[in-house]
Copies of this chain bind each other. A is one copy, B any other.
């Protein structure tokens, strides 16, 4: 018997209450009762994004909402700035090229912080109308300075891909002046995959007015019109059961409180980084609290990341993941966003220690967890425990015999 433990940066495991909501009966989405759920989901998404902007929900992988942002903001030949420092940033450039856009990519080495001066200079390139950055670069665990990015590209409409960021890492959409945030619900929002969203501010709606890229399914006007109908809905039949699940997940997050949610993820990141350090591995994600969603580590020379991931799944039931592109084989990633707690991270660290030992990389047993718990102790007072007072039972069991 092996328990399956999913610890990749999306998809992520769902809380039991979110899982259970999947079996609510399928309901026609054009009813008033369903509209109440849908409206609540949209409102709670806005709260999670710290925005008063419109939030539109789509039935698609996140990539769909990304494509939709390009289609709804731009016209063929428009210039876009892409600030990239990992696989997902670079993918935005590919996507923009496919749509006939002129891409000014400010490319950084993977895992390097955004150079805001270079970005601000590039933002003055004539012909640019929008600027794109990734919030949490899932490929490296790097969480970018979105407040700085939005300021550096202020004259342009800013588009932030917060796939593995939203619900894990601080993102103050309105306070930071981010015009568009795109993301999905299968990472820190603790819902099975299939839903994506876009939050759209006034400057983005203005740019949208003149956007000429052809579109239909992800059209923002259609979605906004349906959202503002008497019975709010999506223009096309949505993933009804997933929306029921997202409703439960968002309510749980807001009950915990977004600040507490961010703090929990920061703590998980600290433990994961400390544990990986305890194994003697070099961190790829920088050792700062903001990098709270994914931890990436360079593997010891001679250990192949793909083989190690397969081994951890096969022998220990622990699902971690390798890396993409130039890091393939060399880097291992632990996802710790969503319905993940301290003990899940400790479990992943123990499994990683065992797996590395199987591949010949030995450390003192327990090194990973010990390092993680030291990091925990450094940030936490011990929890207060009430003294337990045991009292004798107040009544003996009375047995009445039936006649």
A-side interface residues toward B, CB under 8 Å?
4, 6, 8, 10-14, 19-20, 22-23, 25-31, 59-64, 66-67, 95, 98-100, 186, 192-194, 213-218, 234-242, 313, 319, 321
Contacts and interface: CB of A to CB of B under 8 A. Distances in A.
Nearest to A3: B25
Contact of A63 (B14, B214, B217): B217
Tell which of A13, A62, A99, A217 has the most Cβ of chain B within 10 Å.
A217
Contact of A62 (B13, B14, B67, B237): B237
Contacts of A216: 63, 67, 95, 98-99
Contact of A192 (B4, B67, B193, B240): B240
Contact of A214 (B19, B31, B98, B241): B98
Nearest to A14: B26
A97 to B, nearest CB: 10
Contacts of A61: 59, 217, 234, 236-238
B238 A26 contact: no
A238 B193 contact: yes
Given A59-B194, A60-B60, A186-B237, 8 more contacts: A4-B25, A4-B27, A10-B237, A59-B61, A59-B193, A193-B238, A194-B240, A242-B242
6 contacts: A30-B321, A62-B236, A95-B216, A192-B239, A193-B240, A194-B239
Given A23-B22, A216-B95, A28 B319 contact: yes
Contacts of A213: 214
A239 B237 contact: no
Nearest to A95: B216
Nearest to A25: B4
Contacts of A4: 25, 27
Contacts of A194: 59, 194, 238-242
A194 to B, nearest CB: 3
Given A216-B98, A238-B193, A6 B25 contact: yes
Given A62-B236, A63-B217, A29 B13 contact: no
Nearest to A30: B321
- Report, nearest first, the 10 A-B pairs whose CB atoms are least far apart: A194-B239, A22-B22, A61-B236, A192-B241, A63-B236, A64-B217, A67-B217, A99-B214, A67-B216, A193-B237
Contacts of A95: 216
A139 to B, nearest CB: 14
A26 B192 contact: yes
A67 B215 CA distance: 8
Given A98-B216, A237-B193, A239-B192, A60 B59 contact: yes
A76 to B, nearest CB: 8
Contact of A26 (B12, B20, B31, B64): B12
A238 B62 CA distance: 10
A20 to B, nearest CB: 7
Contacts of A29: 11
Given A194-B194, A194-B242, A238-B194, A8 B28 contact: yes
Contacts of A20: 23
A25 B11 contact: no
Contacts of A239: 192-194, 239, 242
Nearest to A235: B63
A303 B25 CA distance: 30
* Residue in A28, A66, A67 with the greatest tally of chain B CB atoms within 10 Å: A28
